[in-house]
Structure 1
């Protein structure tokens, strides 16, 4: 069976009981499957290196048309697809394995960054009243680590040619309830599945 989508979220971290990224993935998956989308899901550990390795293995196993990794961005108020992944690890807090890398590369000798290959502006336009915007930074924690590992894989492995992928941050539940986040994420993915050329509309930022 052909896989349309590989969708990932993260386990809880930093003492939290839940991770809203995984809750959003669960809700979006139910909606997408009801719409006939063939979805594979994966809950990733909040661990530098290991999370990216598990995602890499899943991409090679399922060979989906689209890969969307989802993470939590506490402090944001909307759903934010990321524009660029950067080749740096710089942890403010330890990951779930206790690692706290500082100024390390995600991939030794790799490019400084990779752009998302998702239609991020079209995805934001599809939110239809749900708060969201294009984000210019995925941070330097495990979310960015996974994002960079994914884009590096898709750019360098010729056997995966044609697979598009990227990263979306979702807010904490106190900013946007997970049911709304899940609906918004599902809408964005539906647009991404059928849109290869992004919308030409403003999505930049002054800071």
Structure 2
């Protein structure tokens, strides 16, 4: 089973491209014979990690790809690291705005993704799909879910990680191309081969 997650609408929006893309990708995977499920997570600090853990227990996935919206992204963004901190610049959907709070008290300072993000980046570029690697998923709900996921998977062999999706619609990313890109990430992650070395770093 492949578990894909996305977030509920946030900030007054009527939909969130992350869960839309996750659902479409899950449908495509199921049609191709790969069992998959998409789960919508609340954009609420108090409940998102619990919802994620419930999804992990319910579906017992072999692969987990969590997604979230980045309003500043221009393409699919493959996240490298999750930080053990919540520092909310704006409130979540419940109005909570924690600052300098750990995701997991006493947990490691950070976790790296176990998705082959460099191999996925090369595959995406080969198919003409724009993508970048990001060194940090920020300090809002996306990072919280990313860190909570990697904390849950730390003792096992299940691959998992996080990707940010850009806004979709007129003048923004093509929703169909976004789903194709997500499927490429899944395809590469299902291949047990090690990641490759490919320059995709940042100066700051």
TM-score category, normalised to shorter length: over 0.9
Gaps of 5+ in 2: none
Please, what TM-score do these two structures have when normalized by structure 2?
0.94
The yes-or-no answer on 1:43 pairing with 2:40 is: yes
Please, what TM-score do these two structures have when normalized by structure 1?
0.93
- For this pair of structures, how many residues does the alignment match? 200
Equivalent positions of 1:1-207 (< 5 A) are 3=1, 5-127=2-124, 128-156=127-155, 161-173=156-168, 174-207=171-204
How many Å separate the matches in 2 of 1:71 and 1:65?
A: 20
RMSD in angstroms over aligned alpha carbons? 1.2
Could you list the structure 1 runs, at least 4 aligned residues long, displaced by more than 4 angstroms after superposition: none
Change (3 A) 1:115 1:49: farther
Give the superposition deviation at 1:188: 1.3
Give the superposition deviation at 1:37: 1.0
Give the superposition deviation at 1:103: 0.7
Decide whether the 8 Å contact of 2:19 with 2:38 is kept in 1.
no
Decide whether the 8 Å contact of 1:90 with 1:101 is kept in 2.
yes
Change (3 A) 1:124 1:49: farther
Q: Secondary structure at the match of 1:81?
A: strand
Give the superposition deviation at 1:26: 1.8
Give the superposition deviation at 1:17: 1.2
Give the superposition deviation at 1:193: 0.8
Change (3 A) 1:201 1:102: same
How many Å separate the matches in 1 of 2:68 and 2:150?
A: 16
Q: Secondary structure at the match of 1:125?
A: helix
Render the CA deviation track for 1:37-62: whole Å, top value 9, x for unaligned.
11022000001141111111211222
Gaps of 5+ in 1: none
How many Å separate the matches in 1 of 2:36 and 2:133?
A: 24
How many Å separate the matches in 2 of 1:176 and 1:40?
A: 23
